[in-house]
Amino acid sequence: MAASSSVNAAQAIVGLAVSSHGSHSADRVAVPAGGFALSSLAGRSLTCSHSPRFQQQRRCPRQASRAARRAAPARAAAVETLEAAATEALVEKSINTIRFLAIDAVEKANSGHPGLPMGCAPMGHILYDEVMRYNPKNPYWFNRDRFVLSAGHGCMLQYALLHLAGYDSVQMEDIKQFRQWGSRTPGHPENFETPGVEVTTGPLGQGVANAVGLALAERHLAARFNKPDNEIVDHYTYVILGDGCQMEGIANEACSIAGHWGLGKLIAFYDDNHISIDGDTEIAFTEDVSARFDALGWHTIWVKNGNTGYDDIRAAIMEAKAVKDKPTLIKVTTTIGYGSPNKANSYSVHGSALGAKEVDATRQNLGWPYEPFHVPEDIKSHWSRHVAEGASLEAEWNAKFAEYEKKYKEDAAELKAIVSGELPAGWEKALPTYTPESPADATRNLSQQNLNALAKVLPGLLGGSADLASSNMTLLKMFGDFQKGTPEERNVRFGVREHGMGAICNGIALHSPGLLPYCATFFVFTDYMRAAIRISALCEAGVIYVMTHDSIGLGEDGPTHQPIEHLISFRAMPNILMLRPADGNETAGAYKVAVLNRKRPSVLALSRQKLPQLAGTSIEGVEKGGYIVSDNSSGNKPDLILMGTGSELEIAAKAADELRKTGKTVRVVSLVCWELFEEQSDEYKESVLPAAVTAKISIEAGATLGWEKYVGGKGKAIGIDRFGASAPAGRIYKEFGITADSIITAAKSL
């Protein structure tokens, strides 16, 4: 089937145009820069929700919308109609290709979610074929538009699009291996498995918050680096989210702050299909979503016919791009499982294969005569231009960057570091050092000294707190606040939105390898953001979690604010570093480790209370995870080994002093990061914690579970296996027995 080679009017105005299909030449239609060509349309509301003039529902997708035609260059009306119809037929065929790739892959795996890809194929096609700027052969090209499928269960939509667009990561064989062991097409989108996937989604609401982070990164970098004559940073962030994402609190958190920041280049498609797993959303979700987004400061648009109203989708994107001071929510009303005659619009098409019979019926219904996994030649040919176009887009940008580099040398170097992720040589020399004579201080304050020292040498360091900046001590003193009017600044004010904060930082981290986001709250409130922290670990986002008030040492706020089980709960989480530094040197060590681990997030547990600078602590020690802080034994045979972390290392050191006075040989070990210690050689571990020494005592103001690993069957773990209490910190330490006396008593009993 042949299709017209001309540019559809509506397509032309969206951004990318359809080049001569069938030709593999590199001739490209000029691409307007980042939507600026559309500014003449700013302010024209095409399908604004709540507006009565958009109540009509069109059912004739092949006819280009009047709005689109008005915006098109003048040409002979008859020719236009013919061409548009032919192109639109190709578009519909492409959309059905996407639908059937999803249907067939889910059917073969007998597992997955066909409903969303079938309903969202039109917006997916328009985004990847007509709107987005990317280079399939370099999925990591810096200035690409970002796309996030927040409704990650619909991942076959994204795999189909990546395949059609020419990404090497999703070959036909990968699609056929959907959800199988070792495939690049896992059950939810995973950036670490599939180049072209930006973030890891599936747990609902995470993706839209990641998208806010991606958009924040773009806004920040654009403000820092763009020049009047060279807008070197310039891309959009698109996200598709469903009813499930909309119900999640994290989505509201992230969208509220996105509205506050006015992230105009964030464009969200809300797949409004009225179906969730339990059935019609009527049973649990009847709020007015668009009105809520209006309240959050977003621009909102409603596309009432997302199934076949292609021009409405295009017009909505055009409108969204024209609104530069607000993010846009395009509510796209779709039918889940569109095309399936018996299962569309029901929960049964959400998360199960259609079944052979219904697949056949859907083929019939949508007029799809092909074998499973077939991509028609004209569709292949149509999409094939993206490889050449993508290469040109990147080449163009590279040329632009070369210009930039000539004119703005320092900025270019900084931007290059952010793009590449290369750390500046000698950056670690900025880390502060301490001696036992340095004043006692809370590790949260020492953390701030580190952050401020690092901000001078790491151009990608930015972050902030969930409304506890003055408690978490996270302000970078040389910078102002990242705000709508000052997006070039680096102190991010997240508000009391811990969960959103974590996911936004994941987005920032995954935007560019050189961006180092940190975020902060009280350690106990990692419970609020645990799902986002887990995604950091899984998706290899090297976020730095600055978690202060890390124990009963916070005192009077009481058990709701005192972490107990949190250290062990992160030690058990894969691919994350749980660091609990004891003083200045260990805090510096923790930051060194956190900065170096760009594919593994770090959680720093920091004290509210003052702690002395201990003799024997070191950055190098922290890098090993566990090390000897002091010892008066020889031959690796102390009478007793005392282990501690963070604020309790001081107590262990005191107890050791007392016990040594009685003639004992006592070793004090800091186990500041269990994960790093486990990575050391057996020899090293034995040199620190010899198996032959059974008198081992640990002390930590947290749950004892897990410490059996180090104290062994004959040792003793001193800790807290109950909730905390509201009282001055010293009193709680005493009442709970987190004292040198407890260690001495335990030592006598061993």
Q: Active-site residue 498, yes or no?
A: yes
* Residue 494 tokens, joined: 């997240």
Among 188, 343, 490, 592, binds a second copy (CB under 8 A): 188
Residue 363 to residue 103: CA distance in whole angstroms: 10
Taking CB under 8 A as the rule, does residue 485 contact a second copy? Answer: no
CB hemisphere CA count around 194 (13 angstroms): 30
Which of 257-265, 392-400, 445-453, 659-667 is the region at the interface with a second copy (rule: CB under 8 A)? Answer: 257-265
How far is the CA of 281 from the CAs of 250, 278, 306, 326, 345, in angstroms?
A: 19, 8, 18, 28, 11
Phi–psi pair at 187, nearest 5 degrees:
-65, -15
Among 164, 538, 640, 669, binds a second copy (CB under 8 A): 538
Residue 708 to residue 211: CA distance in whole angstroms: 42
Taking CB under 8 A as the rule, does residue 489 contact a second copy? Answer: no
Taking CB under 8 A as the rule, does residue 48 contact a second copy? Answer: no
Taking CB under 8 A as the rule, does residue 291 contact a second copy? Answer: yes
Residue 739 to residue 364: CA distance in whole angstroms: 76
Which of 36-44, 109-117, 405-413, 650-658 is the region at the interface with a second copy (rule: CB under 8 A)? Answer: 109-117
Residue 545 to residue 466: CA distance in whole angstroms: 11
Q: How many CB atoms are located within 10 Å of the residue 359 CB?
A: 20
Taking CB under 8 A as the rule, does residue 187 contact a second copy? Answer: yes
Taking CB under 8 A as the rule, does residue 151 contact a second copy? Answer: no
Which of 229-237, 555-563, 633-641, 682-690 is the region at the interface with a second copy (rule: CB under 8 A)? Answer: 555-563
Q: Which residues, 705 to 744, sit near a second copy by CB under 8 A?
A: 705-706, 708-709, 712-713, 721-723, 725-728, 731-732, 735
Among 97, 194, 256, 536, binds a second copy (CB under 8 A): 256
Residue spans of beta strands (DSSP E) within 601-686: 602-605, 610-611, 627-631, 640-644, 666-670
Phi–psi pair at 352, nearest 5 degrees:
-140, 155
Helix (H) or strand (E) holding 660: helix 649-661
Instruction: For the CB of residue 297, give the shortest distance to a second copy in the complex, in Å.
Output: 6
Among 560, 620, 637, 741, binds a second copy (CB under 8 A): 560
Given a contact cutoff of 8 angstroms between Cβ atoms, the answer to whether 204 and 248 are in contact is yes
Please identify which of the residues 88, 248, 414, 498 carries the catalytic annotation: 498
Q: Which residues, 377 to 416, sit near a second copy by CB under 8 A?
A: none
Nearer to a second copy among residue 307 and residue 465 (C-beta): 465
Binding mask 298-337 vs a second copy (x if CB under 8 A, - otherwise)?
Answer: ----------------------------------------
Q: Which residues, 596 to 655, sit near a second copy by CB under 8 A?
A: none
Q: Which residues, 447 to 466, sit near a second copy by CB under 8 A?
A: 465
How far is the CA of 564 from the CAs of 44, 218, 605, 723, 724, in angstroms?
A: 55, 38, 12, 7, 8
Taking CB under 8 A as the rule, does residue 683 contact a second copy? Answer: no
Q: Which residues, 564 to 603, sit near a second copy by CB under 8 A?
A: 564-565, 568-569, 571-575
Given a contact cutoff of 8 angstroms between Cβ atoms, the answer to whether 212 and 198 are in contact is no
Instruction: For the CB of residue 142, give the shortest distance to a second copy in the complex, in Å.
Output: 27
Among 285, 373, 408, 427, binds a second copy (CB under 8 A): 285
Among 14, 366, 535, 695, binds a second copy (CB under 8 A): 535
Q: β-pairing, 275-276 with 279-280?
A: antiparallel
Nearest of 427, 439, 417, 504 to residue 466 by alpha carbon: 504
Among 321, 343, 490, 497, binds a second copy (CB under 8 A): 497
Nearer to a second copy among residue 495 and residue 616 (C-beta): 495
Q: Which residues are the active-site residues?
A: 498
